[in-house]
Amino acid sequence: MEFQKIIQLLESDKKITVLLALQSAENYHTEFEAHFGATIEDYKTMLKWVWKHHADVNNPCKLYANRRNLTELPSQISVLRDLEILELSGNQLSALPTEIGKLANLQELDLSSNQICNLPPEIGQLTNLQELDLSFNQITNLPPEIGQLANLQELGLFSNQIDHLPPEIGQLTNLQELNLGFNQFKSFPLEIIGLHSLERLYLADSEISQLPAEIEQITGLKILVLSGNLFTRIPTKLCQFNKLIELSLRENLLSEIPAEIGQLTHLQFLNLSDNQFSQLPSEIGQLCNLEELYLNHNQLQELPPEIGQLSSLKELFLNCNQLRVLPPEVGQLQELQYFTMYENQLAALPPEICRLRNLLGLSLNNNQLTALPSQIGQLTRLETLSLEHNQLRELPCEIGQLKALEHLHLEYNPLQTLPDTLLSIPNIRIYLKDNPDLKVSDKLRNSGKLIFE
C-alpha cells in the first residue's frame, strides 16, 4: 500500500480501517515520522487515549474529554496536530506536558476545574489560540510566554491564587475578555492597562479599593465587574466609560453614589446591591437604556422621583432596605416586568404602581402593608404576587381581575376573609399558611385553589 493511501485511511472514522492503515505503515517508519512528527508507536498510544476518552472520535479537529477523571495528559498529544478545540475541564490534571505547545492549530483550550499549579513556557507557542480558560485551578504565576498568544481574545483565570501578572500580559493586544475574579489581588493590576481591545473585565472578589488613573486608557470597556472588593466610593473616572453596558459593584463598602453615575447613558445592567448607601442621586434617572437595576441590601429610605425616568427598565430589585414609601413616579416604568421589594417597611402602595401593565412578578413580602390599592386589578399580566408576612386583613374585590395570576402568596397575614372574585382566576394557587382567623366561602374553600400548608 502506498504511503499517501495510508495517510488517507488514517483519517477514517472507522477504527478497523485506521488500525489496518497503521499496520501497513510499519513499512514506512521514516516517512511516517517525517509526515506526522511522531513515531508509529506514539501515534497508536495517542489514538488509544482518544478512543477511550474522546466523546466525538469522528472529528479530528475537536477533542472533548471533560469530567473523565484524567490525572495526566499524554505527551503524545502533539500527534493531534490538526486539533482546533481541546476541552479538558473537570478533571484532575496537575500539569501539562511541554508537547502541548506543538498543537499549532489550536484555537480553543479549556482547562478549567483541574488542579494545575503552573503552565509550561511552551504554552506561548499556541499562537493561533483565541480562547484559554484556566478558571478553578491552583495557579499562582503565569509564565511570561503568555504574552506570545497574539491572537488570544478570551482569557479566563477566575478562582486561582494569582496576586500579580507578568508585564508580558500587556502584549495581548487582541484580548477582549479577561476574568481575574476570585484571586488574591491587593490592588488593580497595572499590567493590563495596555490592553486597548479589552471590552469585558472581571475583577470580582479581590481586595481592590482604588482604580488607577491609567484605567482611562482602556477606553473600550463594555462590561466591568468589581463585585466583592473594598471600594468605599465609586471613582469618578469610572463614570467616564461611556461605552459601559454592564457595571457591577455589588458587595463593596459604598456609602454614597455620585451624581456622575448619570453619565453612563449606555448602561443596561447596574448592580449596587450589598453596600451601605442610604440614597440615590437624582441623576440615576439619566440612565435611559438601563434594563436591570439591583439595589438589594442597602440602607435606602426613599427613592428619588427621577426613578420614573428609567423608561427601559425591566427588572428592579429593592429587597432588604428601609423604604417606607414609594414615589408615585414608579408608575411611569411602563416596561417593568419584575419588581421586588421584600423586607422593607412599606405600609402602603401608591395607586400609580398599578399602571405597570407589563408587570409579571411583584414581590412585597415582609413589609407592613395593611391594604392593597383597589386599582390592583389593572395589572392584567401579573403572574406572581407575593404578600406573605404583612398586616393584610382583606383584599380588594378587584384582585379577581388578575386573570393571568398563577401564584398568590398570603402566608402569615392576619387575614379575616377572601373575596370570591378570586374564583374567576382560572389557574391561580393561593398560599395561606398561618392565617388563623381566616374565613372563606364554601365555594372558595372547595375550589381546589387554596393551599394551607
DSSP structure string for 227-262: -SS--SS--GGGGG-TT-SEEE--SS------GGGG
Q: Please report the pLDDT score of residue 62 as a whole number.
A: 86
Q: How confident is the model at residue 39 (pLDDT cuts 50, 70, 90)?
A: confident
Domains of the chain from N-terminus onward: 346-453 (3.80.10.10)
Residues 148-184 have pLDDT tens digits of 999 999 999 999 999 999 999 999 999 999 999 999 9
Q: Please report the pLDDT score of residue 18 as a whole number.
A: 67
Q: Which residue has the cell 468605599?
A: 232
Q: Please give the backbone phi and psi of residue 419, each rounded to the nearest 5 degrees, phi first.
A: -75, 140
Task: Give the integer Cα–Cα distance in Å for 9 and 3.
Answer: 10
DSSP structure string for 344-402: S------GGGGG-TT--EEE--SS------GGGGG-TT--EEE--SS--S---GGGGG-
Residues 353-375 have pLDDT tens digits of 999 999 999 999 999 999 999 99
Residues 49-100 have pLDDT tens digits of 776 666 455 556 888 889 989 999 998 888 888 899 999 999 999 999 999 9
Q: Please report the pLDDT score of residue 21 as a whole number.
A: 64
The three grid cell numbers given for residue 253, joined into one nine-digit string = 463598602
